Amino acid sequence: MIDWPLVSVIIFLPLIGALIILFIKEDELTSINIKWAALLATLGTFILSLILWLQFDYSNPSYQYEEKFRWFDDFNFFYHVGVDGISLFMILLSTFLTPLCILASWNNIKKRVKEYMLSFLFLETVMIGMFTSIDILLFYIFFEAVLIPMYLIIGIWGGNRRIYASFKFFLYTLLGSVLMLIAIIVMYRNTSSMSIEFLQGNYFSYNTQLFLWLAFFASFAVKIPMWPFHTWLPDAHVEAPTAGSVILAGVLLKMGGYGFIRFSLGMLPEATEFFIPLIMTLSIVAIVYTSLVALAQTDIKKLIAYSSVAHMGIVTIGIFLVNQQGLEGAMMQMISHGLVSAALFLCVGVIYDRMHTREIEFYGGLVQRMPLYATVFMIFMLGSVGLPGTSGFIGEFLVIVGAFKFSSYVVIGAAFGIILSAVYMLYLYKRIIFGTITNNKLADILDINTREKIILIPLAISVILLGIFPNLFLDPMRLSLEMIITNYEIANAK
């Protein structure tokens, strides 16, 4: 296959870009160079990550493109990276969204362009690093390092309450992840290994598993986020700049779901079995409650933020069904949500750049002035609702099919949430787009320009592609998911 360290190159290419940018002096004229350098670095990363997909061996359930070096001499910590079916699309999602984020902030970030681009490039490195690490310590380091650039992005370039939001984001997620550090050390103590691959062999006693599970739960439930640990999310989303929200919704929330699949299901199967009722209850509460809350929002970004929590509720249901349909559905829902919510935030960014407000009441009748915008917005809105033919449908459908095997109450809860999601999204769309223009300030608003087309059209295409050819995405991940399910069933059969 490939005899050069492709994964490491993908991880560190953005960082190299960042180092180059560090040496470009920033002033009025050169800030465009900084933007181009950042765009090229992220585009290069995206193209390289496409090679990962093209060369991917569908018949291999475990890690591919592995690289392993001894990192610490005294303990069994390795620099060990690789890609399997579960992480492949998470990596692609990160590398796909970052260049779009750079493009989205091309004109509206005016102060400290250099620091902004540095933060994004560093963020991309740690995101990809996190999804590719096979060593838990490496995973943890990347997992926590994500906080640094995100804290700066929200805090420096955010809205009015940005300081409150950035502190809440940082401390909330840090609190979750430090408990995971303790769990990781306990795991190491029991097995003398930090390899994710090795630890999936179920080595812990039942009681240890319960404590470890809770520690991991604390960190992933905050990250994904599950009700009632979601309160940081609306604040962070609303205050973050558009690109920050895109990465937050598109990739960072997936870290939680990814962690649940890898750690809770993969390593702690018996404890997972024990806690499934808890997860299901929390997820259903999340779906119904946050959908209702979303319905009452007056701020567009906040509405989409709450809808994210609801969609992530479907993801957690899917993951903890632990059957083929459920897991595949959860993965599809994560990919779909990564694209759709990112696109929705970008759409909000488009009108926010023009009008500098996100109040729903301010808008109305945009279809009169912005027909193209209305169209792409509709695609993403329908994707979020889960209309057949869009990406959202596949995920929700598979999760509901899987849930029938588990309990019909869960199905009722999930389906109710999906109906509510249609209610709040269509209602939002109606209020913003349809009708006649009542607000005079909107009279000469311009339709999306070329740059915005370049951002939104690839997203629209991939949302539809995902809806029509789901197998393109499901095939690579199928065997890896099957392996997790088999391990899980063997462990619980004992």
Sites of contact with another protein (CB under 8 A) = 71-75, 112, 115, 137, 140-141, 144-145, 147-148, 151-152, 155-156, 162-163, 166-167, 170-171, 174-175, 178-179, 181-182, 185-186, 188-189
Instruction: Calculate the CA dihedral of residues 476, 222, 350, 94 and round it to 10 degrees.
Output: -30
Minimum Å gap between C-beta 71 and another protein is 7
DSSP conformational letter for 470:
T
Residue 393: which H helix or E strand, with range?
helix 391-406
CB nearer to another protein: pick between 239 and 328: 239
CB nearer to another protein: pick between 241 and 313: 241
Minimum Å gap between C-beta 167 and another protein is 6
List for the chain the helix, strand, coil content (%; round to 5).
Answer: 75, 5, 20
Minimum Å gap between C-beta 145 and another protein is 5
Minimum Å gap between C-beta 353 and another protein is 22
CB nearer to another protein: pick between 75 and 404: 75
DSSP 481-494: HHHHHHHHHHHHH-
CB nearer to another protein: pick between 37 and 376: 37
DSSP 99-122: HHHHHHTTTT--S-HHHHHHHHHH
CB nearer to another protein: pick between 164 and 198: 164
Minimum Å gap between C-beta 334 and another protein is 25
Minimum Å gap between C-beta 238 and another protein is 16
Instruction: Calculate the CA dihedral of residues 18, 85, 480, 276 and round it to 10 degrees.
Output: 70
Minimum Å gap between C-beta 383 and another protein is 35
Q: How far apart are CA 112 and CA 27, in angstroms?
A: 9
Render the burial of 190-225: b for 16+ CB within 10 Å, e for the rest.
Answer: ebebbbbbebbebebeeebbbebbebbbbbbbbbbb
Q: What are the tokens at 155?
A: 């805090």
Q: Which residues contact 98 (CB under 8 A, 6 or more apart)?
A: 14, 42, 45, 46, 120, 123, 124, 247
Q: How many CA atoms does the CB half-sphere of 291 hold within 13 Å?
A: 28
Minimum Å gap between C-beta 206 and another protein is 17
Angle, alpha carbons 84-89-91 (nearest 5°): 85
Sign, CA dihedral 251-256-261-263, equals positive
DSSP 50-117: HHHHHT--TT--S-EEEEEEE--SSS--EEEEEE-HHHHHHHHHHHHHHHHHHHHTTTT--S-HHHHH
CB nearer to another protein: pick between 53 and 167: 167
Minimum Å gap between C-beta 185 and another protein is 5
Q: Helix, strand, or coil here: 195?
A: strand
Minimum Å gap between C-beta 81 and another protein is 15
CB nearer to another protein: pick between 178 and 415: 178
Minimum Å gap between C-beta 178 and another protein is 4
CB nearer to another protein: pick between 174 and 360: 174
DSSP conformational letter for 225:
T
CB nearer to another protein: pick between 181 and 401: 181
Minimum Å gap between C-beta 182 and another protein is 5
Q: How far apart are the first and last CA of the chain?
A: 39
C-alpha 166, offset from chain centre: 18
CB nearer to another protein: pick between 115 and 270: 115
CB nearer to another protein: pick between 144 and 270: 144
Angle, alpha carbons 263-272-184 (nearest 5°): 35
In whole angstroms, how large is the CA radius of gyration of the chain?
22
CB nearer to another protein: pick between 145 and 387: 145
Q: How far apart are CA 233 and CA 236, in angstroms?
A: 5
